[in-house]
C-alpha cells in the first residue's frame, strides 16, 4: 500500500469549499492502493464557519495531523491574514519532522490556500518525495487586474505580486497537476513550457450521496430560512459582481413578470445565501444592489453570512427550485453543482458560454441550463411558471452520468494520476 500525505489547511469541521475534494475522497483512497494521512491547521487558528457534522463523513481510521498558525489578530496587521501565510512556518517545521520519521510516496496539495504549495519543492529537494498540486482555482490570475478596485479582492495589490512569484516556484517542480478545469492546466502549461510533459488530469469534484443522509437526519436542528408560503428559489454560495451577467436576465424576467402577472410572480422569492467570505455580520451584499436597481427588493433576499454545510443542504432540499448563476470568468466550474443535483430539485443554471459546467449539467440531462448569450425571457418564464403547483416531482438524472461523477470515480482518477506521478518522478 502506497502512502500519500495530504496538505489541506482547511479540513472538517471547518466549512471551507476547498476541503471537500479531500473529505469526499478519503473513504476511497485505500481501495485504489493509497493510504492517506492529512495535515491541516488546527481549528483554533481559523475564523471560518464550522460544522461539526462534517466530521461524520470522515473515516475514523484516517490519521489527521494538526499544525499551528500565527494569531490572525496580530499577523493581519502585517498583511498576513490568510491561513496559508500564517501556517507556512508551522507546516514546514511539523512536516519536516514527520517526513524524517515516516516514509511517504507522495505529497498531495489539495487547497486554494496556494502559498503552502511552495513547500512542495522544498520537501522534494530535502526528502526526495514527489508532489502533486490540485488546482481548484487559478493561483496567479490576471482576471482582476483591469477591474475597478471595488471589485478586486481585499489586499489584491499584495496577493497579485505574491502569487506571481510563488506560483512558478511550486508549479515548475511539481510531479503532477490536477485541476477542476482543463483551462487551468492549459494556462499553466502556456506560462511554464517546462511542465508540458508533467502528468495532468482534469477532475471535477465528486458527488457524495452520504451528505444528504446526514443533512436529512439533522434538518430539524437548523434555523428555518425559507417561508413555506412562498415559492422559494435558492442559491447557496459565494456572490460577486462577476455573477451579475448571469443573474440579470433572470431578474429582468422576474421584473417583467411582476408587471404582467403580479399574482403569481409576487409569490416568487429568490434567496442568495452565504454570499460573502467576511466574518459574520461584516459581509457586503453583492447581489441585492442589482435587485434593488430593478425594483426587486421584495423578491430577492441576500444573506451574506455563511451557514454550515449541512444547513446549506437542508435549505436546498426545502427549496421549491434551485438557481446556479455562473461567473463571467469562462474557467469557472461551480463545483457546488453536485449537491444541487443530488437534491433532484428543478434547476435553472446560467453560465458563461465557455464554462465547462454547462457540459457537465447536460451530461445529467438537465435541459434548463443556459449561457447568458442564448437564454431568453421565455426560457425563464417557462421554468418559473412550472413551479406554480409546488408539486414538482424529483427531476431525473442520467444514471450513467451519476456513476461517472461519483466521488468514488473521481478518487480513482486522482489515484491513477498519483501512480503516474511517482513513476515519472522528476529529479
pLDDT for res 157: 43
- ∠187-19-113 over CA atoms, to 5°? 50
Q: Where are the beta strands (DSSP E) in 43-125?
A: 63-67, 106-110
pLDDT for res 156: 47
Residue with cell 470515480: 409
**What integer best gives the mean pLDDT of the chain?**
90
- SS3 category, 397: coil
Instruction: Please give the Cα distance from 249 to 252 (Å, whole number).
Output: 5
pLDDT for res 48: 85
> pLDDT tens digit string along 197-254?
999 999 999 999 999 999 999 999 999 999 999 999 999 999 999 999 999 999 999 9
pLDDT for res 269: 98
pLDDT for res 166: 80
Q: Where are the beta strands (DSSP E) in 163-292?
A: 176-179, 200-202, 231-236, 268-273
Q: Which ranges of the chain have pLDDT less than 50?
A: 77, 152, 156-157
Instruction: Please give the Cα distance from 205 to 113 (Å, whole number).
Output: 17
pLDDT for res 278: 81
Instruction: Please give the Cα distance from 84 to 360 (Å, whole number).
Output: 31
Give pTM, 2 decimals. Answer: 0.86
Dihedral over alpha carbons 228, 233, 238, 242 (to 10 degrees): -150
Instruction: Please give the Cα distance from 381 to 370 (Å, whole number).
Output: 14
Amino acid at each position: 500500500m502506497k502512502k500519500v500525505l495530504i496538505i489541506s489547511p482547511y479540513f472538517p469541521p471547518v466549512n471551507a469549499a476547498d476541503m471537500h475534494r479531500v473529505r469526499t475522497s478519503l473513504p476511497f483512497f485505500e481501495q485504489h492502493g493509497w493510504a492517506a494521512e492529512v495535515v491541516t491547521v488546527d481549528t483554533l487558528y481559523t475564523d471560518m464557519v464550522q460544522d461539526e457534522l462534517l466530521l461524520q463523513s470522515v473515516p475514523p481510521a484516517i490519521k489527521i495531523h494538526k499544525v499551528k498558525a500565527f494569531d490572525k489578530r496580530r499577523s493581519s496587521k502585517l498583511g498576513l491574514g490568510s491561513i496559508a501565510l500564517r501556517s507556512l512556518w508551522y507546516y514546514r517545521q511539523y512536516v519536516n519532522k514527520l517526513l524524517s520519521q515516516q516514509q511517504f510516496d507522495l505529497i498531495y496539495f489539495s487547497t486554494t490556500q496556494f502559498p503552502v504549495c511552495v513547500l512542495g519543492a522544498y520537501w522534494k529537494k530535502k526528502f526526495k518525495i514527489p508532489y502533486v498540486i490540485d488546482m481548484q482555482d487559478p493561483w496567479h490570475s490576471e482576471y482582476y487586474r483591469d477591474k475597478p478596485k471595488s471589485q478586486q479582492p481585499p489586499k489584491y495589490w499584495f496577493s497579485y505580486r505574491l502569487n506571481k512569484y510563488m506560483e512558478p516556484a511550486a508549479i515548475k517542480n511539481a510531479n503532477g497537476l490536477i485541476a477542476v478545469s482543463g483551462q487551468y492546466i492549459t494556462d499553466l502549461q502556456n506560462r511554464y513550457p517546462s511542465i508540458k510533459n508533467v502528468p495532468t488530469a482534469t477532475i471535477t469534484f465528486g458527488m457524495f450521496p452520504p451528505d444528504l443522509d446526514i443533512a436529512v437526519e439533522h434538518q430539524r436542528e437548523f434555523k428555518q430560512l425559507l417561508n413555506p408560503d412562498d415559492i422559494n428559489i435558492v442559491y447557496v454560495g459565494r456572490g460577486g459582481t462577476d455573477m451579475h451577467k448571469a443573474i440579470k436576465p433572470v431578474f429582468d424576467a422576474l421584473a417583467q413578470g411582476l408587471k404582467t402577472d403580479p399574482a403569481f410572480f409576487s409569490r416568487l422569492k429568490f434567496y442568495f445565501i452565504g454570499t460573502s467570505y467576511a466574518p459574520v455580520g461584516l459581509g457586503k451584499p453583492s447581489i441585492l444592489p442589482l435587485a434593488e436597481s430593478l425594483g426587486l427588493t421584495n423578491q430577492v433576499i441576500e444573506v451574506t453570512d455563511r451557514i454550515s454545510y449541512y444547513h446549506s443542504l437542508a435549505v436546498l432540499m426545502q427549496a421549491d427550485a434551485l438557481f446556479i448563476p455562473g461567473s463571467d470568468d469562462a474557467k469557472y466550474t461551480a463545483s457546488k453543482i453536485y449537491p444541487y443535483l443530488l437534491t433532484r430539485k428543478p434547476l435553472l443554471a446560467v453560465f458563461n458560454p465557455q464554462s465547462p459546467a454547462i457540459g457537465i449539467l447536460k451530461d445529467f440531462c438537465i435541459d434548463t441550463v443556459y449561457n447568458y448569450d442564448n437564454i431568453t425571457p421565455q426560457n425563464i418564464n417557462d421554468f418559473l411558471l412550472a413551479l406554480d403547483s409546488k408539486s414538482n416531482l424529483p427531476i431525473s438524472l442520467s444514471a450513467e452520468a451519476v456513476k461517472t461523477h461519483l466521488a468514488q470515480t473521481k478518487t480513482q482518477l486522482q489515484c491513477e494520476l498519483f501512480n503516474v506521478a511517482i513513476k515519472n518522478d522528476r529529479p
